[in-house]
Copies of this chain bind each other. A is one copy, B any other.
Amino acid sequence: MSEKIRVIQYGLGPIGSGVACHVVERTGLELVGGVDIDPAKVGHDVGDVIGLGRDLGFPVTKTLGEILDRTGADVVIHTTRSYFDLFKDQILEILAAGLDVVSTSEELSFPWSDHAGEAQEIDAAARAAGKTVLGTGVNPGFLMDALPLFLTAICQQVERIEVTRIMNASLRRGPFQAKIGSGMTVEAFEAKMAEGRMGHVGLPESIGMLFDTLGHTLVDYQSAVEPVVAERLVETDFFQVQPGQVRGLKQVARAYDEAGEFVTLTFIAALDSAEDGDTIKIIGKPSLEVKLQGTNGDLATVAIAVNAVRRVHEAAPGLVTMRDLPIVTYG
């Protein structure tokens, strides 16, 4: 193992705190700073804020610059916002500071289809800085895109791809249960849905990576979100859902090329779900069916962000995606 890679954690919410704690655990990495804009966190010891159980000897700062005045660093793990208009300047700021970036921002996982202009801007900034930017995560970034793509390695033909992810949200943290609409009335759910504020972020990015890599042209894309309604009382540590109220959501994205529906991605997250697991089907020659158990969203997202650090640090400069790097592995 080469020398330790110095990591700054940018964003200290639940995922960012989990990432930071895990960076501290890893022998090949060293956590050297933590950034967050929350006034309740700024100035407090990073170890305290991330729930490490001990102090690390440096405080959360509001800016990256305050950390770099104190120490050098190599890679920033960025876990703040999902959408380009909210995170783009942060990525450019990190590149301007001369650091590599691993980000869990969903729209960065494959920006070349829906955000080509912003992607080119970040790619140019990364090349100018001689640094690398990767968007990753368990989904998008792995389960519905990079992993199905790797499975097509053993196919002579690929006619269709279907990925279904079913999550029993009763096993997840409270904010996740809230995000999927738990305890809402159907009316409230549908009103929020109409504002485009319900549902998993990242399906267009997964579809973009699949289509672009396999050489298909996207001619139509449809995505629908519907509530999953409780038929009986459902209780968790965080919610009590009455019959007739919402216990989660089902989202289906269908993507078409000239020949018809080529990719179908289904995302179901609901309290009290009897099923919990993922299925990847490649219809082709041969046809494959792959069932995965245990791909816990939070643990997995923290893991893949941290596991990507060394690959990104070693990669050639530019904006890359999970299909461009040598396979990311533990370590």
Interface residues of A (CB under 8 A from B): 1, 22, 25, 138, 142, 146-147, 149-158, 213-215, 284-296, 299-304, 306-308, 322-331
**B residues in contact with A149, CB < 8 Å:** 327, 329
In the complex, what distance in Å separates the CA atom of A323 from the CA atom of B147?
Answer: 14
Given A1-B215, A215-B1, A290-B290, answer yes or no on A329-B153 (Cβ-Cβ < 8 Å).
Answer: yes
CB-CB nearest in chain B for A320: B326
Given A156-B299, A295-B288, answer yes or no on A323-B326 (Cβ-Cβ < 8 Å).
Answer: yes
Tell me the dominant secondary structure on chain A's binding face.
mixed
Which of B156, B289, B290, B330 contacts A155 (CB under 8 A)? B330
What copy number does this chain have within its complex?
Answer: 2
25 contacting pairs across A/B (C-beta < 8 A): A1-B215, A25-B156, A146-B327, A150-B329, A152-B329, A153-B329, A153-B330, A154-B301, A155-B307, A156-B299, A156-B303, A156-B330, A158-B330, A213-B329, A214-B331, A286-B294, A286-B295, A288-B292, A288-B293, A289-B294, A290-B290, A290-B293, A323-B326, A323-B327, A323-B329
CB-CB nearest in chain B for A28: B215
Contact A304 B213 (CB under 8 A): no
Beyond known contacts A156-B330, A286-B299, A325-B326: 8 more, CB 8 A cutoff: A25-B156, A138-B154, A152-B331, A154-B301, A155-B307, A285-B299, A287-B294, A324-B326
Which of B293, B299, B330 contacts A152 (CB under 8 A)? B330
Closest CB of chain B to A153's CB: distance in Å? 4
Which of B147, B151, B331 contacts A213 (CB under 8 A)? B331
**B residues in contact with A214, CB < 8 Å:** 329-331
In the complex, what distance in Å separates the CA atom of A306 from the CA atom of B153?
Answer: 9
**B residues in contact with A290, CB < 8 Å:** 290-293
Closest CB of chain B to A68's CB: distance in Å? 28
CB-CB nearest in chain B for A292: B290
Which of B289, B294, B302, B331 contacts A215 (CB under 8 A)? B331
Contact A289 B299 (CB under 8 A): no
